[in-house]
A and B are shown apart, each in its own frame.
Chain A
Amino acid sequence: SYYREIDDEFFEELTDLLIAADVGVSTSLKIIEELKAKVKAQKIGDPEKVKGLLREIIIELLGDEPVGLDQHSGPQILLVVGVNGVGKTTAIGKLANKYTREGKKVLLAAADTFRAAAAEQLAVWAQRAGVSLIRHQEGADPAAVVYDALEAAKARGTELLIIDTAGRLHNKKNLMEELRKINRVIERGYPEADYTAYLVLDATTGQNAVQQAKVFSEVAKLDGIILTKLDGSARGGVVLAIRSELGLPVCFVGVGEGIDDLQPFDPRGFAEALF
């Protein structure tokens, strides 16, 4: 490789790379400060080694532990939330398929009773995955759908109940209260079940995703993130800011519109693709 001095300009270029990947200004600066300190302490003079070190810092930040649904012998509930159009319903279709293939008895709940044809869309996915679906009429109370789904799950011996919710912007107070109610119905309605909730984020989203994660975690329990649309050229760097500020890990990534286009999150691959 060509000769390159490790000076302020070099670090500025690395900062730009992070910003271009949607990591955001403050998190990028934080990461680069850590990098500078390490480069200085370890007296590194090779730009390639500096880049390698940057990757390691990012991987460490993302956490190398495998995450995903815990292995659980008892009943499990998975709630999926997020703003409009990020890929919640599609991710649920993929998850339903994955866990059915792994031998679990899966049930879906269509608690998006608001968007046009939301339940029909989920019904198509339910059919593709070969699972059944609890749904009400358009405009029905989503909490009532959840309540019915919990009862059905208990009665049928469902091992994994996945609940789809309507897309909602986090700054809409009434919609967030609706979600708080759904969360409460789950916690009170089936306390014996192991309850997990994922926030779905679109990889093309910029810094607003930090606010999404923050506000959603105030009204519902959040355990992790499903990062969708990573098959595009967006790199989804904002999850670094979210991990850094809120500690939320990425659990799965969406890499297409097909039923198998869901993968466990791989911090190493993600860090490679950032640049």
Chain B
Amino acid sequence: MAFEGLSEKLQNVMKKLSGRGKLSEADVKAAMREVRLALLEADVNYLVVKDFVKKVSERAVGGEVLSSLTPGQQVIKIVNEELTALMGKTQARINYASAPPTVIMLVGLQGAGKTTMAAKLGLNLKKQGKKPLIAACDVYRPAAIDQLKIVAEKAGVPVFEQGQGQPVKIAQGAKAECQRLLYDTLIIDTAGRLQIDQAMMDEVKAIRQAVGVHEVMLVLDAMTGQEAVNVASSFNEQVGVDSVILTKLDGDTRGGAALSLRAVTGKPIKFCGVGEKLEDFEPFYPDRMANRILGM
């Protein structure tokens, strides 16, 4: 398979580098070509790759490396450091509102994993002693509300729904329900939407304004390719994104989308989905992701 071959090649280059006592600029350049390929094969956005390789190259041909006793090791360290830095520190915390309820809205493309994540998040909050409520604001997808009710019930989290009503009204009703029954966290499940669909983007913007969302979480499929950048920047510009959740990381994708959207939006990736079951939920680890993208 292409990925394995590439990761092997990359590791060979790294090994070769790490065994060397002295490095020339040409050696560094050759290594950077391999890094570039590894990142592209991992679906990191090609513009992000360009930037990244330039930055690492500058550091790698600088004095700190070439004069080092183990220059190869230094280069590998730089690549890993820069990748991890780009991915951000672990910030697996939710921005709680000073006065409850804290309102979290999940947004993203069709099929990304929002509804599943709403229940996972609800379960996780419950385990932390919170009292969450989920609002069923996908009024379009066939059986979306049935699906949400089933997964939320498994999580033991109540759902506020009004059938195929108006999403803004449903969100408002859910917030009022929180105040009435003292739920401290409201999770809003929204319909999947394309970032180029103006009417649908306006809808989530309206929900955001109407109920005062504290945290907009962009749910993104880890298998996403070059499009991740368009999705992330567009959702961020139009709706405002506070954090990112990566799903389907239990697959064998390298997950370069993670790096791209982090680089473009600067927003922290907080959680991951690692399976279809409710407990398949983890905080995000930037260093693990860096290794995965490079196939190391």
Spell out A's residues near B (CB within 8 Å).
16, 19-22, 24-26, 83-87, 93, 114-118, 120-121, 123-125, 169-172, 202, 204-211, 214, 229, 231-234, 238, 257
Contact call A214/B250, Cβ cutoff below 8 A: no
User: In the assembled complex, which residues on chain A have CB atoms less than 8 Å from the CB atom of B228?
Assistant: 204
Inter-chain contacts of B223 with A (CB < 8 A):
83, 202, 205-206, 208-209
Would A19 and B227 count as touching, CB distance under 8 A?
A: no
- Are the CB atoms of A206 and B109 closer together than 8 Å? no
Interface of B is mostly: loop
A24, B41: Cβ atoms under 8 Å?
Answer: yes
In the complex, how many angstroms separate the beta carbon of B44 from the nearest chain A beta carbon? 9
Residue B256 interfacial (CB < 8 Å): yes
Contact of B112 among A85, A116, A121 (CB under 8 A): A85
A233 touches B227 (CB 8 A): yes
> When A and B form their complex, what is the total count of cross-chain residue pairs whose Cβ atoms lie within 8 Å?
134
Q: How far is the CA of A238 from the CA of B40 in the complex (A)?
A: 13
CB-CB under 8 A from A22, the residues of chain B are 43, 225-227
Assess whether B230 is in contact with A233, with CB atoms less than 8 Å apart: yes
**Residue from the set B194, B195, B227 with the largest chain A CB neighbour count within 10 Å:** B227
Least CB distance, A41 to chain B, in whole angstroms: 28
B196 sits at the interface (CB 8 A)? yes
In the complex, A211→B142 CA distance in Å? 30
Given A84-B113, A206-B256, 15 more A-B residue pairs with CB atoms under 8 Å apart are A21-B226, A22-B226, A24-B41, A84-B276, A85-B113, A87-B110, A121-B141, A121-B147, A171-B252, A206-B224, A206-B257, A208-B251, A214-B1, A229-B109, A231-B194
A19, A124, A233: the one contacting B46 at CB < 8 Å is A19
Interface set of B (CB-CB < 8 Å, partner A): 1-3, 37, 40-43, 46, 109-113, 140-143, 146-147, 150-151, 194-196, 221, 223-228, 230-231, 248, 250-254, 256-257, 276
Taking A84-B111, A206-B257, A233-B196 as contacts, is the C-beta distance between A115 and B276 under 8 angstroms?
yes
CB of A204 within 8 A of CB of B225, answer yes
Q: List, in ascending order, chain A residues with CB within 8 A of B46's CB.
A: 16, 19-20
User: Can you name 13 A-B pairs with beta carbons within 8 Å?
Assistant: A25-B41, A84-B113, A93-B142, A117-B150, A121-B146, A172-B250, A202-B111, A202-B223, A205-B224, A206-B224, A207-B41, A229-B110, A257-B140
Q: How far is the CA of A204 from the CA of B247 in the complex (A)?
A: 14
Which residues of B are found within 8 Å of A115, using beta-carbon distances? 147, 276
- Would B226 and A117 count as touching, CB distance under 8 A? no
- Which residue of A26, A169, A229 is within 8 Å of B2 (Cβ)? A26
If A19-B46, A25-B40, A206-B43 touch, whether A232 touches B251 (CB-CB below 8 Å) is: no
Note all chain A residues with C-beta closer than 8 A to B225: 22, 204-207, 234, 238
Q: Which residues of chain A have C-beta atoms less than 8 A from B226's C-beta?
A: 19-22, 206, 234
- Whether the Cβ atoms of B110 and A211 lie closer than 8 Å is no
Residue in A16, A26, A210, A232 whose CB lies within 8 Å of B109: A232
Query: Could you say which residues of chain B place their CB within 8 Å of the CB of A211?
Result: 1, 3, 252
Q: Is the CB of B140 within 8 A of A204?
A: no
Residues on the A chain within 8 Å of B37, using CB: 25
Question: For the complex, what is the distance from the CA of A20 to the CA of B217, rounded to whole Å?
Answer: 26
Inter-chain contacts of A117 with B (CB < 8 A): 143, 146-147, 150
On chain A, the residues within 8 Å of B254 by CB distance are 207-208
User: Within the complex, which residue of B41, B112, B196 is in contact with A232, where a contact is CB–CB below 8 Å?
Assistant: B196
> Once bound together, how far apart are the Cα atoms of A209 and B221, in whole Å?
13
A196 to chain B, nearest CB (A): 23
Residue of B at shortest CB range from A234?
B227
Q: Which of B43, B110, B251 contacts A207 (CB 8 A)?
A: B43
Expressed in whole angstroms, the Cα–Cα distance for A172 and B46 within the complex equals 30
Residue ID in chain B nearest A231 by CB atoms: B194
Q: Give chain A residues whose Cβ lies under 8 Å from the Cβ of B142.
A: 93, 120-121, 124-125
The CA-CA distance from A48 to B152 in the complex, in Å, is 55
Report the nearest B residue to A114, measured CB to CB: B276
Interface centre among A21, A26, A84, A114 (most CB of B within 10 A): A84
> A116 and B248: CB pair below 8 A?
no
Can you name the residue of chain B whose Cβ is closest to the Cβ of A206?
B225
Contact A116 to B150, CB < 8 A, known contacts A204-B225, A204-B227: yes
| B42, B150, B196, B221: the one within 8 Å of A204 (CB) | B221
Nearest-neighbour CB distance to chain A for B190, whole angstroms, equals: 14
Lowest 6 CB-CB distances: which A-B pairs, in order?
A206-B225, A85-B111, A206-B43, A124-B142, A116-B150, A117-B147
One of A83, A169, A172, A207 near B3 (C-beta < 8 A): A207
